[in-house]
């Protein structure tokens, strides 16, 4: 195992989108994925499935879908105003890097697609209290709680092995096309498409809005003074 | 900073649900949250908000809501069949631990509620291609991609500081009541409720279904041989 302090990994694993053509050894990918699945999943169901895409023809097909999805992203971004917390330089760098990836997703030596396979529970359906049906609606947006922690482990494990990656989601605009390319059953839903490779750009540091702005003590608006 | 190898943290940060009453220093919580926000968020929006709940009366109120939500969980679990990948011992331990937490969420010395604040983008709405409206429906379940990576950083940073925690979501059955207790604006949506404290139980190791079962090469069904 590569050794790296956890905080060093977390503070320097910034989103990287440009990669050298060097291949990534399978043994390293196995370690990255073995670390990924140490993450939690709801009720320990471990219903995750990961597709590692190395084949050049398959990568090209996924890259073409991503490029098409990128056109929707560009439309969404057309009127985007720079958020206050980002400097103009950071904003322009991010935008340029994201736009680069739209055209080059398929060029990364490896793509990892993180999915959840929904399997109908065995046994008869449970009897729920009357208010539960309404409450269950809230739970759709919680689905990612069983896959994005594993995705973050991929990001951090990649960092420890000197690999760059980033978390993207816009392939899902055309999820059915992705499903067709990769033979995904209908029970499999995609959550993140991650390009992986040895990066052309440097790792970290990662700058963020400060804790005092986004953390509150006991009630919203009572900002954390730590 | 506590020093810990990243893989040691990932492989031993199992879900912990029983805590000693010892208080957690604010300085440690600040470091945990500062690490949390190094995680990625969509378009680097950093729209996360975290509520740290230390006040005993506030914890009791949230604990009471969690207990009520737990009744829905119990109904959902009533007919649950043990997944093949879990031994009977593991399954029973998990169930007992989850049921314990239903009654004791408010007893943890600290609760962290991880949220996303949805702020309407400035400027006129973008003109989208015709297929985009349909495609956008897929994106609801992607919302967690901007908060669960930060949640995983909390889990790992806690581990490095010797703190136990776990990811829970069922408070959302009664999100409006949580919102009222914590003065959350309507723009704030909750994604994870995490009890935090020095654990009564031990860390790791974390056992999982093997990589070969959940990783596929180039297409679904072509299992990874690594």
Residue of B nearest to A223 (CA): B51
Residue of A nearest to B130 (CA): A72
B184 min Cα distance to partner chain A (Å) = 6
When pLDDT is cut at 50, 70 and 90, the band that residue A137 belongs to is: confident
In a domain, A126, yes or no: no
As a whole number, mean pLDDT of residues A167-180 equals 95
Q: For residue A106, which residues of chain B lie inside 8 Å, CB to CB?
A: none
A31 min Cα distance to partner chain B (Å) = 9
Residue B135 has pLDDT above 80, yes or no: no
Order of all β-strands in the sheet with A48-53? A164-165, A188-197, A110-117, A48-53, B215-217
* B70 contacts B170 by C-beta, under 8 angstroms: yes
Q: What does the block give as tokens for B163?
A: 């703190």
A190 min Cα distance to partner chain B (Å) = 9
Q: Which residues of B209-224 are buried (b: 16+ CB within 10 A; e: fewer)?
A: eebeebbbbbebeeeb
Taking an 8 Å cut-off on Cβ atoms, the answer to whether A52 and B145 are in contact is no
Position A111 scores a pLDDT of 99
**3-state SS class at B174:** helix
Position B123 scores a pLDDT of 67
CA distance A218 to A45: 32
Element (DSSP H or E) covering residue B62: helix B56-77
When pLDDT is cut at 50, 70 and 90, the band that residue A19 belongs to is: very high
Query: Chain B 21-60, CB below 8 Å of chain A: which residues?
Result: 26-27, 29-30, 33-35, 37-40, 42-46, 48-55, 58
Between B73 and A56, residue with greater pLDDT: A56
CA distance A51 to A103: 21
In a domain, B26, yes or no: yes
Question: What is the interface size between A and B, counted as CB pairs within 8 Å?
Answer: 330
Place of tokens 């959350």: B184
Residue A30 has pLDDT above 90, yes or no: yes
Mean pLDDT of chain B: 93
Peptide bond connecting A97 to the previous residue in cis, omega within 30 degrees of 0: no
Q: For residue A136, which residues of chain B lie inside 8 Å, CB to CB?
A: 173
Q: Does A211 touch chain B (CB under 8 A)?
A: yes
Task: Decide: residue B87, CB within 10 A, 0-12 exposed, 13-18 middle, 19+ buried.
Answer: exposed
Q: Nearest to residue B128, comparing CAs of A75, A81, A74?
A: A75
Q: Which of A86-90, A122-126, B33-37, B183-187 has the lowest mean pLDDT?
A: A122-126
In a domain, A161, yes or no: yes
CA distance A16 to B199: 36
In a domain, A187, yes or no: yes
Position B1 scores a pLDDT of 60
Q: Which of B85-99, B115-129, B176-190 has the lowest mean pLDDT?
A: B115-129
Residue A183 has pLDDT above 80, yes or no: yes
Position B121 scores a pLDDT of 66
Position B207 scores a pLDDT of 94
CA distance B102 to B76: 14
When pLDDT is cut at 50, 70 and 90, the band that residue A79 belongs to is: confident
- The interface predicted TM-score (ipTM) is 0.96
**3-state SS class at B53:** strand
In a domain, A224, yes or no: no
When pLDDT is cut at 50, 70 and 90, the band that residue A139 belongs to is: confident
Q: What does the block give as tokens for A35?
A: 């670390």
CA distance B104 to B108: 7
Position B54 scores a pLDDT of 98
Q: Does B193 touch chain A (CB under 8 A)?
A: no
* A3 contacts B146 by C-beta, under 8 angstroms: no
Element (DSSP H or E) covering residue A59: helix A56-77
CATH number at residue A39: 3.40.109.10
Place of tokens 């995705």: A151
In a domain, B213, yes or no: no
A200 min Cα distance to partner chain B (Å) = 19
Taking an 8 Å cut-off on Cβ atoms, the answer to whether A155 and B149 are in contact is yes
- The percent of residues in chain B predicted with pLDDT above 70, rounded, is 96
A105 min Cα distance to partner chain B (Å) = 15
**Domains contained in chain B, number:** 1
Helix axes A148-160, A26-36, angle to 10 degrees: 140
Q: What angle do CA B216, A107, A27 make, to 5 degrees?
A: 40
Residue of B nearest to A61 (CA): B218
Position B134 scores a pLDDT of 72
When pLDDT is cut at 50, 70 and 90, the band that residue A1 belongs to is: low
Q: What pLDDT digit, counting tens, does each position of B159-173 carry?
A: 999 999 999 999 999
In a domain, A40, yes or no: yes
Give me the residue from B139, B144, B208 closest to A143, CB to CB: B144
In a domain, A27, yes or no: yes
Q: Which domain holds residue A55?
A: 20-118+143-214
Q: What pLDDT digit, counting tens, does each position of B96-130 carry?
A: 999 999 999 999 999 999 999 987 766 666 667 77
**pTM check: above 0.90:** yes
Taking an 8 Å cut-off on Cβ atoms, the answer to whether B144 and A142 are in contact is yes
Residue A103 has pLDDT above 90, yes or no: yes
Q: What pLDDT digit, counting tens, does each position of B2-53 carry?
A: 789 999 999 999 999 999 999 999 999 999 999 999 999 999 999 999 999 9
Q: How many helices (H) and strands (E) does chain B have?
A: 8, 5
Q: What pLDDT digit, counting tens, does each position of A32-50 carry?
A: 999 999 999 999 999 999 9
CA distance A204 to A212: 22
Place of tokens 């897929």: B138
């Amino acid at each position: 195992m590569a050794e790296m302090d956890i905080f060093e990994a977390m503070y320097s694993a910034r989103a990287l989108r440009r990669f050298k053509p060097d291949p990534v050894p399978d043994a390293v990918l196995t370690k990255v994925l073995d670390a990924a699945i140490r993450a939690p999943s709801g009720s320990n169901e471990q219903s995750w499935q990961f597709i590692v895409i190395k084949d050049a023809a398959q990568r090209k097909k996924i890259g073409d879908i991503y490029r098409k999805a990128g056109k929707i992203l560009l439309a969404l971004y057309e009127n985007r105003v720079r958020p206050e917390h980002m400097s103009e330089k950071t904003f322009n760098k991010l935008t340029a890097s994201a736009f680069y990836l739209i055209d080059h997703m398929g060029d990364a030596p490896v793509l990892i697609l993180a999915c959840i396979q929904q399997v109908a529970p065995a046994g008869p359906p449970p009897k729920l209290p009357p208010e539960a049906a309404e409450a269950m609606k809230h739970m759709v947006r919680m689905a990612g709680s069983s896959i994005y922690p594993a995705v973050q482990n991929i990001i951090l494990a990649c960092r420890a092995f000197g690999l760059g990656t980033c978390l993207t989601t816009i392939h899902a605009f055309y999820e059915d096309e992705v499903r067709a390319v990769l033979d995904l059953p209908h029970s499999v839903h995609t959550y993140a498409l991650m390009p992986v490779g040895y990066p052309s750009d440097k790792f970290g540091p990662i700058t963020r809005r400060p804790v005092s702005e986004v953390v509150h003590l006991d009630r919203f608006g009572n900002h954390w003074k730590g």
